[in-house]
Amino acid sequence: MGKEILKLKPSQLWKHFYDLSQIPRPTGQMKEVTKFVMDFGKSLGLEVKQDKAGNTLITKPATKGKEKVPTVILQSHLDMVPQKNNDVKHDFTKDPIETVIDGKNVKAKSTTLGADNGIGVAAMMAVLEDKTLKHGKIEALFTTDEEVGMVGANGLKKGFLSGSILLNLDTEEIGELCVGCAGGVDVNADWEFKEVKTPKGDIAYKITLKGLRGGHSGTEIHLGRANANKLMFYFLKEAVSNYEVRLASIDGGSLRNAIPREAVAVVTLPEEDEKDFLKLVKKYEKKYKEEYKSAELVDKLSFKAAKTDVPKTLIPEEIQDSLINAVVGCQNGVISMLTDFEGIVETSTNLARVASENGKISIKILARSSSEDRKDEIASSLESVFALAGAKVTVENGYPGWQPNAQSATLDMMAKLYKEMYKEEAHVVVVHAGLECGIILGSTPGLDIVSFGPTILNAHSPDEFVVIDTVPKFYDYLVKTLENIK
């Protein structure tokens, strides 16, 4: 299954990536994949240790003549984002990822691929087993549960690492040298209520919005893609206002760092409003296809209503109205741009999840910013919106951004090396995605850090793919970087 990638170059990297794809490793399920990398390090006769947070560190001694070269930490995270379309049968806790070669790209069959950050992990494994590479001491750090809360990085203790240079392999555009990233914080809003009986004579419809592109809520938030939760609630507000629609349940989005692609709501309404209600559904489908024709694949965008069994209970009207108003009023998408780095988002929010079940409604939002003050401000703004709507709001799992170091000797060397190897300038960037670098810097002060990687597009969505010809370029550059550190 997916073994055609074993024919790609560099062969050892793709071999390790294939092996990783056979191990279920969604965030929160790290035991098997951690054992896999620990056993790999031990099979090479290298020093292997693990901390209380589950992070694995494999140390490779310097080659002869390179003993005085500064120790380099290579770092990638082991977990992947588990995303699939609702009509796809795949259990991320049990099933392997089925990789396929699609023209110039490697992708998965209707699921996320896990190239984020599996390609980085595979590259580190290839470096560890390469006996021809000339290098100083290497510490290969495999962190856990990055995608939700950066758990592994946050659990690092002082003294676990001894290196002075950190090469993070989690950037997703070949030719980019990343020197800074945004921090983030979770804003969660919850309601509890007693469900009420559905009025007699009402009919019920299941409204389904699907076919949106979704994507990474950091690296792709600026592309103007639709948020399924926002679109569903714009519709619900008009339907409730004009057609006596009542909300029975809502299920939209999935993970906090993935732009929501799908949302499903079950509603009831008086039978005499059925015809007008269905016209409204068609109106909104047409509206969304027109509004997002530049950012979405509109032939895949679908907004439909199908008759369904009448639910026995509904969300109380006052909770329903508060929820709708809060979601419609919630800031979502790009909030501000950086002034010093053209085209880079400074602050954003992602209304990631809205779900109801058994007398409870839960909303999850990820706020990001390169500025700690603005991160706090946007979190406070979101807290106010939902608190005014009667929700219990918690702000948690904050992590710091990574501030650029203009005097980085490693960056200077790598920029010169890139131009020497590829006859073009590398792009020095600050990204809006959350990387573990700032957190690791907190536990190991003074690190000189650069992040880079191959081209990976549509991460955190079933459309994720890695561009094949960027992988050998990335790996060769990694190897040359290690050889050129003085």
Distance (Å, whole) CA 295 – CA 299: 12
Query: Residue 316: is the preceding peptide bond cis (ω within 30°)?
Result: no
* Token pair 């693990």: residue: 50
CA angle 254, 256, 344 (to 5 degrees): 130
CA angle 155, 145, 364 (to 5 degrees): 105
Catalytic residues: 79, 146
Closest CA to 24 of 34, 16, 32: 32
Query: Residues 222, 225, 229, 235: is their CA dihedral positive or negative?
Result: positive
CA angle 112, 454, 22 (to 5 degrees): 40
Tokens found for residue 336 = 């501000």
* Token pair 């977990």: residue: 79
DSSP state of 225: P
Query: Residues 162, 164, 168, 174: is their CA dihedral positive or negative?
Result: negative
Q: Residue 456 in contact with residue 171, Cβ under 8 Å?
A: no
Q: Could you count the other beta carbons within 10 Å of the beta carbon of residue 277?
A: 21
Q: How many CA atoms lie within 13 A of 465 on its CB side?
A: 15
- Residues whose CB is less than 8 angstroms from the CB of residue 378 and which lie 6 or more positions away in sequence, other chains included: 331, 335, 347, 349, 367, 369
DSSP element (H, E) containing 116: helix 115-129
Three-class secondary structure of residue 416 per DSSP:
helix
